[in-house]
Amino acid sequence: MSHKLSPRAKVALYGILLVLCVPFVFPTWWMVTSSLKPAGDIFAFPPSLFPTNPSLDAYTQVFERQPFLQQYINSMYIAVLVTLGTLAVSSLAGYAFARIRFRGQNALFLLVLTGLLIPSEVTIVPLFQMFNRWGMIDTHWPLILVPILGAPSVLATFIMRQFFIALPGELEEAARVDGLGRFAIFYRIALPLARPALAAVAIFTFLHSWNLYLEPIVYLSTPEMFTLPQALTQYVDAYGGPMWNVQLAAASLTALPVLAVFVVAQRQFVEGLAHTGLK
């Protein structure tokens, strides 16, 4: 039985939602508007919500002081490769743990989940030594391989497993009657039905890779190889102090792909979380 809200109740509800969204929207608004101000006006009192003399000088300095375009490309292609690799690994592993019965299945899955309990700070030193022996320091290989085979992929595997468990077994039985093998059932039936879960995994993975900070600092040393979180720390003046308007301009540009991905895949993201039972 559906209940329609009266016009007065709708106005009250929208008013409450508007007030609640202010703590989330205001920091983004302040970041963007401050990037259009001179550095001296950012912390002026009383603060202004709108720049009095908006200028794009800070955005020009973003590209003049750093190879920002190359760093942007670095972050983008690394995040895309990590997302695709994680989707491939987690969908296969999640389907295997959900639909294939074998001895020690639950024990092995619990062992895999323990990867979520190990902080990345604990493993970064041995991983650095390993990649150093392989000649991969100051390359993007560690930033691609570690997330695909590490904790982000473990979380993605858990999400995919929870989704595949909920699929009706009758679908597989009907597919076997039609002569499909295990991989064909996965590729032609299970995977297309898992689009909401795949969207949730893709967003989680893309955000994790895009915002990765510690690992680039450890593995990268050349500005042309930097990713965006590391590049944001390089906008300092001659005394080592932050150039606030330039940093905020770079941060505004950095946030654009994240906002775009979430807006495009928002519905699939919510459906994926609902189907996998995550809260």
User: What is the full per-residue pLDDT of the chain (279 aa) written as tens digits?
Assistant: 456 767 777 788 888 888 888 887 888 888 888 888 887 788 777 777 788 888 889 999 999 988 999 999 999 999 999 999 999 999 999 998 988 888 888 888 888 888 888 888 888 999 999 999 999 999 999 999 999 988 788 889 998 998 888 888 888 888 888 888 888 888 888 888 888 888 889 888 998 999 999 999 999 999 999 999 999 988 887 777 788 889 999 999 999 888 887 777 666 666 655 555 444
User: What is residue 221's three-state secondary structure?
Assistant: coil
pLDDT of residue 276: 52
**61-276 classified as CATH 1.10.3720.10:** yes
Side chain identity, residue 159: I
Distance CA 70, CA 38 (A): 26
Sign of the alpha-carbon dihedral angle for 40, 46, 47, 52 = negative
Give the list of residues 6+ apart from residue 264 with CB closer than 8 angstroms, or none.
none
Does residue 147 contact residue 86 with C-beta atoms inside 8 Å?
yes
pLDDT of residue 171: 80
Return the HEC string of 132-148.
Answer: HHCCCCCCCHHHHHHHH
pLDDT of residue 259: 82
* Dihedral over alpha carbons 240, 244, 246, 249 (to 10 degrees): 150
pLDDT of residue 226: 95
pLDDT of residue 60: 92
pLDDT of residue 277: 47
- Number of CB atoms found within 10 A of residue 106's CB: 8
* Domain boundaries defined on the chain: 61-276
pLDDT of residue 131: 94
Does residue 177 contact residue 132 with C-beta atoms inside 8 Å?
no
pLDDT of residue 133: 95
**């505004």: which residue's tokens?**
252
pLDDT of residue 279: 44
The alpha helices in the chain, defined as continuous H runs, are: 7-34, 57-65, 68-99, 105-113, 120-133, 141-149, 151-165, 169-177, 182-185, 191-193, 195-210, 214-219, 228-231, 244-264, 266-276
pLDDT of residue 270: 62
Distance CA 214, CA 47 (A): 33
Distance CA 76, CA 82 (A): 10
Distance CA 177, CA 183 (A): 15
pLDDT of residue 136: 93
pLDDT of residue 49: 79
pLDDT of residue 172: 81
Q: Tell me the whole-structure pTM to 2 decimals.
A: 0.84
Distance CA 17, CA 203 (A): 25
pLDDT of residue 53: 82
- Number of CB atoms found within 10 A of residue 13's CB: 11
pLDDT of residue 250: 93
